[in-house]
Copies of this chain bind each other. A is one copy, B any other.
Amino acid sequence: MNTATGTSALPYTFLGPEGTFTESALLMVPGAASAERVPSTNAADALARVRAGRARAAMLPIENSIEGGVPATLDAISNGVELRILHEVVVPVSFVLVAPADVSLQDVTHVGTHPHAWAQTRNWFQDHLPDAVHVPANSTAAAAHQLLGAGAAFQAAVCAPLVAEQTGLSVLAAGIEDNIGAVTRFVLVGPPGELPEPTGADKTTLAIPLPEDRPGALMEILEQFASRGVNLNRIESRPTGQFLGHYIFSVDVDGHIRDARVADALRGLHRVSPEMRFLGSYPRADQQPPLIREHNADAAFDEAAAWVGTLLG
């Protein structure tokens, strides 16, 4: 902010503390490894930093193949000043059990970690430390860092492999996660601005409040996608925080807003749910292009628009 070169001098932020899977995800963004990186304590704080112009973008977990959507991220993106998802990263989830060098497995009676990590390692503990007691922490990395100081209420922590490296704690066990193959999807969120260029394998994220005044509104929303051949690949309901039964649907669809079928579906959705938010079009992490039928391709939309234009004179 105090340099002449604008946002590129700003740091990135991420859901901290250091060493979480989120920092690993940020490090996969081109240029981020060599840029300043500031941890934030939660998703809302990270986005507040971006909104205030104190960070150029924030890396946040948005979906976990075990736990589902990350509500704090979904809600922080969908409310407040508009932001855009610029990039997605998918990171495999793997856990290690770490402890100070003088602690061995049989010494462990209490284990510190984030409740999600605890939930995802139940089988290993059932088999190896059935009597271990969980001490909740705000993040897996936070638990590990507490072991470096004095007075931790536990002897070992469950955390990401990166934290073990960064802290130098010893690894009592590795690969202790229940679901081999679990992944977490992260998104890099920045201020609105230039749209990332379409790559042919893109994703668009939307937050669509369900209109409450009429039955069948969800069908009506899905119809806007179906009538343009736009395929959904994630749909999650989030409460609006006002009444039971009032939802915002968080949706990922195949394609970029610069694809005619996506732009046209967005026009239809804006009518049906005027408070809908566009949260960005960005390259898919898996680089898989969708199958688009000819009548839903850009050329078909252009030709249709030209044809109606001729009729209208």
Contacts and interface: CB of A to CB of B under 8 A. Distances in A.
A268 B227 contact: yes
User: For chain A, what secondary structure do more than half of its interface residues adopt (helix, strand, loop), or is it mixed?
Assistant: mixed
A31 interface: no
B235 A67 contact: no
Interface in A120-174: 134, 136-138
A105 B182 CA distance: 44
A179 B235 contact: no
Contact of A271 (B243, B274, B301): B301
Contact of A232 (B218, B243, B244, B274): B218
Interface residues of A, number: 73
Contact of A68 (B63, B220, B224, B238): B238
Interface string A220-232: 1011101110011
Interface stretch (A8-16, A49-57, A303-311): A303-311
Given A68-B239, A257-B311, A270-B308, 7 more contacts: A63-B239, A64-B239, A182-B241, A183-B244, A218-B232, A223-B226, A257-B312
